[in-house]
């Protein structure tokens, strides 16, 4: 079986959000190396297909990473095994194995699901050719690091075995072309266009339109020539790039080691004490905060409020720095990322006041889009004309 997938891939510190062949996958961005399969009972291989990304075990043989068997994402998080994660503020993403391993695993999983849907049986072998757009933090992105990251995907083919209990599916993945762009810049594509390539409309802009009285016919075309100061609040860092139209302004590269993850790490000890756990990973705490029905939710949120306020104040300071550097010549401050949801009640009023005093509009992305906006943008980019042109040039040069 042969497939060609377009992949928009956002490897976040805490969450892995990617579009593979139009399907959005959201998983904790963790894995663990293991030496054996966990299942002893005879589960039919077909029972794994529907929720494959939730119970994903792969063996990888690739020139880009250490060969081995891995639990991926949610399955790794719940396994109790020792986890590999992206270390906040220390790791160069382009040199790490985690983004490669988790990306290969999720692409292979979608290939197996698609193969099963198309043939109504579990395929033995699949070959997938991939066009991919992914990103590096603006503070880590340079021509050299981007090229290094691209090569890890494009040099050689990757062999992934997906384990469906005792049955195995061999997936060969070949990246035809991969483009690595600075994080936050894909968002300009997601703000302007929807997945069908039309000007974007809908609930993502509702609060913005109501706040500034922008009328019922508002669409993403509004942003096509605007100067936007992005505030992409992640787990371990916040990026503050400035874009103009579809251009990333290299002279305003700025990022800081502030984010929800630092607040979580600061509060983690107190949280563990309150719930009588000697130790629990940051990702567990993150999952509790995302789930208002969790029995520990109230305690998790209470221990977090003061550390979050400290992080929010630091983020405001960094935004002020960028505004000064840009002489306040900014049309819109756009806030998104997983950390923006947690910080909203603290950050929104501070930022609104700052924007009003400097005659700037504030677009605070609603929670249902805040985490996936980078992935949406990367998906729009990989399907767009700029990507097609870059791939064409690369093929000629190659």
Which ranges in the chain are annotated with CATH 3.30.420.40? 2-182, 186-375
pLDDT recorded at residue 248: 86
Distance separating alpha carbons of residues 55 and 236, to the nearest angstrom: 26
pLDDT recorded at residue 290: 84
Q: Considering only CA atoms, which of 112, 15, 94, 10 is closest in space to residue 58?
A: 112
170 or 37, which is more confident? Answer: 170
Q: Considering only CA atoms, which of 61, 44, 51, 59 is closest in space to residue 122?
A: 44
234 or 321, which is more confident? Answer: 321
Residue 261 has pLDDT above 90, yes or no: no
pLDDT recorded at residue 89: 58
- Is the domain spanning 186-375 CATH 3.30.420.40? The answer is yes
Q: Which CATH number fits domain 2-182: 3.30.420.40, 3.40.50.720, 3.40.50.10860, 3.30.505.10?
A: 3.30.420.40
Q: Considering only CA atoms, which of 358, 324, 318, 326 is closest in space to residue 335?
A: 318
Q: What's the average model confidence in pLDDT over 271-296?
A: 86
Residue 397 has pLDDT above 80, yes or no: no
**CA distance from start to end of the chain:** 27
Percent above pLDDT 70 for the chain: 98
Q: What's the average model confidence in pLDDT over 203-217?
A: 95
Pairing of strands 247-248, 242-244: antiparallel
Q: What is the pLDDT confidence band of residue 321, given thresholds at 50, 70 and 90? A: very high
- Please tell me the pTM assigned to this model: 0.89
Distance separating alpha carbons of residues 359 and 262, to the nearest angstrom: 31
Region of poorest pLDDT, from 53-57, 246-250, 350-354, 385-389: 246-250
């Amino acid at each position: 079986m042969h497939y060609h997938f377009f992949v928009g891939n956002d490897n976040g510190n805490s969450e892995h959000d990617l579009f593979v062949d139009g399907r959005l996958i959201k998983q904790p961005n963790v894995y663990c190396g293991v030496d054996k399969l966990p299942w002893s009972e005879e589960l039919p291989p077909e029972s794994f297909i529907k929720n494959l990304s939730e119970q994903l075990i792969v063996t990888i043989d690739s020139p880009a990473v250490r060969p081995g068997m891995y639990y991926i994402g949610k399955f790794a998080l719940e396994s109790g095994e020792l986890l590999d994660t992206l270390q906040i503020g220390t790791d160069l993403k382009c040199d790490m194995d985690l983004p490669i391993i988790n990306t290969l695993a999720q692409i292979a999983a979608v290939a197996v699901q698609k193969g099963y849907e198309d043939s109504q049986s579990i395929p033995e072998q699949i070959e997938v050719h991939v066009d991919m757009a992914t990103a590096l933090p603006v503070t880590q992105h340079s021509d050299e690091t981007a090229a290094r990251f691209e090569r890890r995907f494009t040099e050689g083919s990757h062999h992934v075995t997906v384990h469906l209990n005792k049955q195995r599916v061999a997936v060969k993945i070949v990246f035809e072309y991969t483009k690595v762009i600075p994080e936050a810049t894909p968002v300009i594509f997601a703000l302007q266009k929807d997945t069908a390539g039309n000007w974007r409309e809908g609930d993502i802009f509702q609060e913005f339109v109501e706040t500034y009285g922008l009328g019922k016919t508002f669409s993403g075309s509004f942003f096509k020539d605007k100067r936007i100061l992005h505030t992409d609040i992640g787990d371990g860092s916040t990026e503050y790039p400035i874009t103009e139209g579809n251009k990333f302004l290299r002279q305003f590269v700025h990022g800081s080691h502030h984010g929800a993850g630092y607040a979580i790490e600061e509060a983690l000890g107190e949280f563990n004490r309150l719930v009588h756990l000697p130790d629990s990973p940051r990702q567990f705490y993150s999952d509790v905060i995302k789930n208002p029905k969790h029995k520990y939710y109230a305690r998790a949120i209470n221990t977090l409020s003061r550390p979050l306020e400290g992080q929010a104040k630091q983020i405001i300071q960094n935004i002020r720095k960028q505004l000064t550097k840009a002489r306040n010549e900014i049309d819109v401050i756009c806030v998104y990322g997983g950390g923006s949801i947690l910080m909203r009640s603290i950050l929104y009023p501070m930022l609104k006041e700052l924007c009003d005093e400097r005659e700037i509009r504030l677009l605070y992305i609603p929670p249902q889009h805040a985490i996936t906006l980078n992935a949406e943008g990367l998906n729009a980019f990989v399907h767009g004309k700029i990507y097609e042109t870059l791939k064409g040039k690369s093929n000629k040069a190659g």
